[in-house]
Structure 1
């Protein structure tokens, strides 16, 4: 299923502003920021919830948020950004320390080898892999991608004009819109497209707290640190359909793009593979049919 021109105003509701501020090195949580009316009295009342030493940062966050909202309004009105997505629900099973995904009535398949935590997880004492959340007999899995197009061109125009602030603002907003679109699409998938949680009724805050059933690990993120798996998912999704191209190093263009998996297991959870040993690197390289040295450049995790 391809979704084109997803409503930007709808996606904006799903932005996690905490991560936006972190990208600008304004660390912290600023509750109630989005509901401020803009008058001085409300601003001063809002500031009282922070310790005196944090109020300067809070004001900085408020100013940046106002700039961001105004920029998003302009982008929405101009139609300069296009948000597209693709999602497929496929048969799958776990095998050989990985996940095999079937398409076209099981006539085609793609195998995704998975990395496993080298050391036991602090939560349950096991070395976790995403393949643990998929049945070895028969299961289903979702694969998805979202792209935000137009931001690179706008940022480049700002940069050429010497406006580095707005160039960076547009880029950082596009990154957050890609994450927000992923959040929105995941909810749509759980409730409607896949429909395994049709009665879910969670607030945006609860979505950001991952209180839904299932997970959506993205390629290049802590649970799937091998960027080269994008080439395998591209065989199924044909990412060009939503304007995504891949470099030889597995980077996506436009940069504000995300591609990954939907796993519905009720006990699945997000985790970090973390540092892996040479033993696992060599084993994984065999399963990827790649030389270890070539594989290293695709891995976002450390190899000891």
Structure 2
């Protein structure tokens, strides 16, 4: 344990890398697991023999940590848990999809000194606000730590902190969480830390509210007049090789390895090279992180071989091509046999940040309207996973105190899922849809998006509304492929990707950005849902102040 304290100090000082910390923790956990029964037996015997009282906790503090309700992503949370453990904090990890009441109950029972919340998808932001409100309601006074890819200092300061009158801190990564917990546990620096935090967050809030005053939106009707215009008379849609649904079961993972984008893998391990060595494989040349990146990469190749050869992970996918037409900002898809409308995908249009001569994009701009009352364009749908089997296998690894292997497997499953999405998109372009049969691109070209067509995901910049997945899942019957949605519309397994296929050569990725109230009202009317519900799901892109 003394050795782990040194490891924690070195990591906090930037003198050890995260993979080294996780590996050190693995050794410590295995040793402690072996010794603990003997230590507990001896301790209990001494208590009974000498009439001693229970010893005080040897930890700096206790942290209850969880991925919030409806969210399934836990790699970052697991890393934080290990790093905090290395720094002599007792960590009570509640896992993923954890309801608010479970988090609060555990904090009370464990006499926790901190609660840590993690989340990846945007609906998790509202769940974190809810947890903060409930912590206040039940009278908790312990610090609340916020982390995860979708979180930000601004959201924490503006939306979460005002709901809980005790310390609320956004933690950018694992090392930051250690600094925060240690500072709040040390009475000699706690007050100064909190004063700096309060001043920092007040400044963030002021900047946020000032930005709302300065923000300028184009009225929705005006943005529609300035939509991205395609000359449909010069466009002849290519009919896919099949219409309807097709499922791909137990795909050969060997086929996906060349399509892996390794940069996000190194990001998981907090290994980031400096320019010009930021990308793979240039990261291996970086003076600071290159050697460690190569070690982790070598480990990854060994694990990748094991996962494939032992069939630990299973990759499934489902694709569908349907006749489609645009209708304003929306897209209708039709039954290829009867011509009846099946579902509508609703679009959001850019309203801010555009110059006078720039188009205001919406995904529907890339689909042809009805042609003489007939849909003669097409829309593709897909969902894929490479994570079937990952959760069960990682639980076994974690029971054996091997956090390093568990994090490695989950990180590789994520990379394989993204690689599967890339592979499928190539097959769609060249064969299954066949609108780009002469494509001759390298794997590097694919990662640089040099192909025709796009595959935007629901809940991401081109269509930030996660609720669009409901129609997608209904049409794909993705559950049959083993890919399901949580109540907050995260995908299970976590290593999954889904979205829409657009074939138009002029289609392009874009970010909707912030939207104004006129579009929210219009969107709610089109979707036939309450405006408040739209505001809840789209809160990260709402450009006006909500109650």
TM-score (norm 1): 0.88
Which residue number corresponds to residue 303 of structure 1? Answer: 542
Q: Can you list the C-alpha shifts for 1:75-117, whole angstroms capped at 9, x where unaligned?
A: 0011011101111111101113111111242234210111111
**Please, what is the CA RMSD of the aligned residues?**
2.0
Distance, in Å, in 2 between the alignment partners of 1:89 and 1:121 is 33
Distance, in Å, in 2 between the alignment partners of 1:104 and 1:139 is 12
The question of whether the paired residues in 2 share the 8 Å contact of 1:217 and 1:270 is answered with yes
Choose from 55, 63, 66 the match for 2:295: 63
Distance, in Å, in 1 between the alignment partners of 2:521 and 2:484 is 29
| CA deviation after TM superposition for structure 1 residue 24, in Å | 2.5
Matched, 1:141 2:379: yes
Distance, in Å, in 2 between the alignment partners of 1:261 and 1:122 is 28
Choose from 227, 234, 243 the match for 2:473: 234
Matched, 1:201 2:440: yes
Which residue number corresponds to residue 519 of structure 2? Answer: 280
Which residue number corresponds to residue 219 of structure 1? Answer: 458
Matches within 5 A, 1:6-85: 6-28=251-273, 29-32=278-281, 50=285, 54-85=286-317
Matched, 1:107 2:340: yes
Matched, 1:257 2:502: no
Q: In terms of Rg, which structure is larger?
A: 2
Matched, 1:187 2:426: yes
Choose from 306, 314, 325 the match for 1:93: 325
Distance, in Å, in 1 between the alignment partners of 2:290 and 2:480 is 41
Distance, in Å, in 1 between the alignment partners of 2:535 and 2:309 is 43
| CA deviation after TM superposition for structure 1 residue 120, in Å | 4.7
Query: Tell me, what secondary structure is at the counterpart of 2:413?
Result: helix
Distance, in Å, in 1 between the alignment partners of 2:398 and 2:532 is 37
Q: Can you list the C-alpha shifts for 1:34-87, whole angstroms capped at 9, x where unaligned?
A: xxxxxxxxxxxx96xx4xxx3121222211211111111100011011101111
Distance, in Å, in 2 between the alignment partners of 1:267 and 1:11 is 28
Q: Which has the higher contact order (CA 8 A, sep 6+)?
A: 1
Query: Tell me, what secondary structure is at the counterpart of 2:315?
Result: strand
Q: Can you list the C-alpha shifts for 1:260-284, whole angstroms capped at 9, x where unaligned?
A: 1110111111111122222222221
Q: Please identify, of 244-253 and 188-197, the stretch whose mean Cα deviation from structure 2 is larger.
A: 244-253
Query: Tell me, what secondary structure is at the counterpart of 2:320?
Result: strand
Q: Please identify, of 216-225 and 188-197, the stretch whose mean Cα deviation from structure 2 is larger.
A: 216-225
Matched, 1:130 2:369: no
The question of whether the paired residues in 2 share the 8 Å contact of 1:190 and 1:198 is answered with yes
| CA deviation after TM superposition for structure 1 residue 124, in Å | 6.7
The question of whether the paired residues in 2 share the 8 Å contact of 1:93 and 1:134 is answered with yes
Change (3 A) 1:277 1:156: farther
Query: Tell me, what secondary structure is at the counterpart of 1:56?
Result: coil
Q: Relative to total residues, which structure has the larger helix share, 1 or 2? A: 2
Which residue number corresponds to residue 409 of structure 2? Answer: 170
Query: Tell me, what secondary structure is at the counterpart of 2:319?
Result: strand
Change (3 A) 1:301 1:118: farther
TM-score (norm 2): 0.50
Q: Can you list the C-alpha shifts for 1:241-299, whole angstroms capped at 9, x where unaligned?
A: 21011122111111111111110111111111122222222221222222233234433
| CA deviation after TM superposition for structure 1 residue 32, in Å | 3.9
Unmatched segments (≥5 aa) in structure 1: 34-45
| CA deviation after TM superposition for structure 1 residue 156, in Å | 2.0
The question of whether the paired residues in 1 share the 8 Å contact of 2:381 and 2:499 is answered with yes
| CA deviation after TM superposition for structure 1 residue 162, in Å | 2.1
